[in-house]
């Protein structure tokens, strides 16, 4: 499972004029918060919790951001900074950070956001053993502002700099899955000078058959020019407000063997992983809300619940999927362990778990819903102000596709 996200933050931002004279481009405010918050949060919520910022221009500002990043703390991610001692191009920034890079990592441009399923892109890596890089590509009606590519059977066959081609086509979305060893082998040919990843290294990899691409859907925002930066002030807040699906766990995502508290007893419901992946691909937030009275009854501990949820994330990641957040309630009014013996507002049919998620995430509640297998799940959803759908078995992904709210949003 790829866990490291590396973000290029060293550009000068000259096209933005005075805006970047004292502020690095990734730290420019968008709707009151640094643009970099968007990239950090999007990476961290999808499980890339080791974040490395590659700084150059005004590096001290990037270092200050890393020390105080609330976006990282929210998801339990670590944020570190590698500073290039002198400008060396985008590939040079990677070269200076070599010792701190994982064998595989996701690389993001610090001045653009491509709203795609990052986990799905990472899951391609085992199926592209020859790839030094896998690029997320976006179909655009005007490619003149961007680096553009031609693609054949998953391999990038042509790589064109900005303004080399006009009209519609595939553009580089600024999101890359990288394999350190073959990437650095290609970079070795440019040793001793500043070098551009986009205009020098990537075309070399394309000629060698080591550059792959994946056409992705999703909103693309580049704040590198004034008009796009102005547009981002309204576009980004709207895009970050997402519909959510709340899943009960036992009996919906996994087979209910009664008090499932260990990895050995966890078995996915048919279609569950596909359902989560489809929701991720469509831009939904995915939450789990689960009563875990087995803790209150002494059958397993809270650490076992957390370990099981981590196991779920590992298995989902291999299939290009993830769960954004979990809530569980270990309390029960008839608990055998006194510390857990109480009537908790978090325990369904009370809506506490859902309300807590609604308070802590930007949720478009009008397009959100819950899937549960008990009337108590539906009651919790209704009390929280979201529709609930009763799942009675069968393929979960097929059930999801038949839900009116999902069809409307799709």
- In terms of domains, do 102 and 220 share one? yes
Cα separation, 273 vs 319, in Å, equals 8
- In terms of domains, do 336 and 269 share one? yes
Res. 63: pLDDT tops 90: yes
The single residue listed with the structure tokens 């992946």 is: 277
The single residue listed with the structure tokens 């596709």 is: 401
- In terms of domains, do 216 and 185 share one? yes
What range does the domain containing 364 cover?
A: 244-409
**Which band of pLDDT confidence, cut at 50, 70 and 90, is reported for residue 362?**
very high
Cα separation, 198 vs 355, in Å, equals 45
Cα separation, 68 vs 336, in Å, equals 42
Active site residue 359: no
Q: Supply φ then ψ for residue 250, to 5 degrees.
A: -65, 120
Spot the catalytic one: 111, 222, 250, 324. 250
The single residue listed with the structure tokens 């989560």 is: 276
Give the residue-averaged pLDDT of 356-369: 97
Cα separation, 204 vs 211, in Å, equals 9
Predicted confidence (pLDDT) per residue in 245-279, tens digit: 999 999 999 999 999 999 999 999 999 999 999 99
- In terms of domains, do 181 and 69 share one? yes
Instruction: Out of 223, 240, 257, pick the residue that ends a domain.
Output: 240
The DSSP call for residue 269 is P
Cβ pair 179, 133 in contact under 8 A:
yes
- Name the packing angle between helices 272-281 and 302-318 (round to 10°): 70
**Which band of pLDDT confidence, cut at 50, 70 and 90, is reported for residue 13?**
low
The predicted model scores a pTM of 0.95
**Which band of pLDDT confidence, cut at 50, 70 and 90, is reported for residue 46?**
very high
- In terms of domains, do 234 and 298 share one? no
- In terms of domains, do 21 and 165 share one? yes
What's the length of the chain?
Answer: 410
Predicted confidence (pLDDT) per residue in 104-155, tens digit: 999 999 999 999 999 999 999 999 999 999 999 999 888 877 768 899 999 9
Instruction: Out of 240, 257, 279, pick the residue that ends a domain.
Output: 240
Domain CATH for 94: 3.90.550.10
**Which band of pLDDT confidence, cut at 50, 70 and 90, is reported for residue 409?**
low
Give the residue-averaged pLDDT of 61-87: 91
pLDDT at 1: 92
Task: Determine whether 14 is exposed, middle or buried from the number of CB atoms within 10 Å of its CB (0-12, 13-18, 19+).
Answer: exposed
Res. 410: pLDDT tops 70: no
Instruction: Out of 240, 258, 279, pick the residue that ends a domain.
Output: 240
- Name the packing angle between helices 180-187 and 89-96 (round to 10°): 120
Cα separation, 156 vs 154, in Å, equals 7
- In terms of domains, do 195 and 97 share one? yes
Domain CATH for 393: 3.40.50.1000
- In terms of domains, do 14 and 145 share one? yes
Cβ pair 305, 343 in contact under 8 A:
no
Q: What is the DSSP track for 361-389?
A: S-B-GGG-EEEESSHHHHHHHHHHTS-EE
Spot the catalytic one: 50, 115, 248, 325. 248
Active site residue 248: yes
Q: What is the DSSP track for 128-192?
A: -TT-SEEEEEEEES--TTS-EEEEETTEEEEEE-TTSS-SSEEEEEEEEEEEHHHHHHHHGGGTT
Cα separation, 164 vs 115, in Å, equals 26
Number of structural domains, the chain? Answer: 2
- In terms of domains, do 230 and 254 share one? no
- In terms of domains, do 223 and 129 share one? yes
- In terms of domains, do 182 and 35 share one? yes
- The residue among 180, 160, 121, 171 whose CA lies nearest residue 320 is 121
Give the residue-averaged pLDDT of 78-102: 93
Res. 345: pLDDT tops 60: yes
- In terms of domains, do 226 and 261 share one? no
């Amino acid at each position: 499972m790829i866990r490291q996200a590396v973000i290029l933050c060293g550009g000068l931002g000259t096209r933005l004029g005075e805006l970047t004279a004292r502020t690095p481009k990734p730290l420019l405010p968008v709707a009151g918060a640094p643009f970099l918050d968007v990239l950090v949060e999007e990476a961290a919520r999808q499980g890339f919790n080791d974040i490395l910022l590659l700084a150059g221009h005004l590096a001290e500002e990037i270092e200050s951001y890393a020390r105080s990043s609330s976006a990282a703390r929210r998801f339990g991610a670590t944020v570190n900074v590698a500073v290039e001692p002198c400008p060396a191009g985008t590939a040079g920034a990677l070269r200076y950070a070599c010792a701190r890079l994982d064998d595989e990592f996701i690389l993001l441009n610090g001045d653009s956001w491509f709203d795609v399923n990052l986990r799905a892109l990472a899951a391609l890596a085992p199926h592209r053993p020859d790839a030094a890089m896998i690029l997320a590509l976006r179909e655009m009606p005007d490619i003149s502002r961007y680096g553009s590519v031609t693609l054949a059977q998953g391999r990038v066959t042509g790589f064109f700099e900005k303004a080399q081609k006009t009209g519609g086509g595939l553009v580089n979305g600024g999101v890359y899955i990288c394999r350190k060893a073959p990437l650095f082998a290609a970079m070795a040919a440019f040793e001793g000078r500043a070098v551009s990843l986009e205009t020098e290294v990537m075309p070399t990899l394309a000629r060698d058959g080591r550059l792959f691409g994946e056409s992705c859907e999703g909103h693309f925002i580049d704040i590198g020019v004034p008009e796009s930066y102005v547009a981002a002030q309204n576009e980004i807040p709207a895009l970050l407000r997402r519909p959510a699906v709340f899943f009960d766990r036992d009996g919906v995502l996994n087979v209910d063997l009664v008090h499932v508290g260990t990895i050995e007893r966890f078995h996915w419901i048919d279609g569950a992983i596909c359902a989560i992946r489809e929701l991720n691909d469509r831009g939904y937030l995915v939450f789990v809300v689960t009563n875990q009275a087995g803790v209150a009854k002494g059958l397993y501990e809270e650490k076992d619940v957390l370990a099981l949820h981590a196991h779920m994330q590992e298995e989902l990641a291999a299939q290009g999927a993830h769960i954004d957040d979990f809530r569980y309630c270990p309390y029960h009014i008839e608990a055998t362990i006194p510390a857990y013996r109480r009537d908790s507002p978090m325990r369904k049919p009370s809506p506490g778990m859902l309300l807590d998620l609604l308070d802590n995430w930007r949720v478009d509640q009008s397009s959100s819903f819950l899937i549960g297998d008990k009337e108590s799940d539906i009651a919790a959803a209704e009390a929280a102000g979201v529709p609930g759908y009763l799942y009675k078995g069968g393929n979960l992904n097929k059930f999801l596709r038949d839900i009116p709210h999902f069809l409307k949003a799709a």
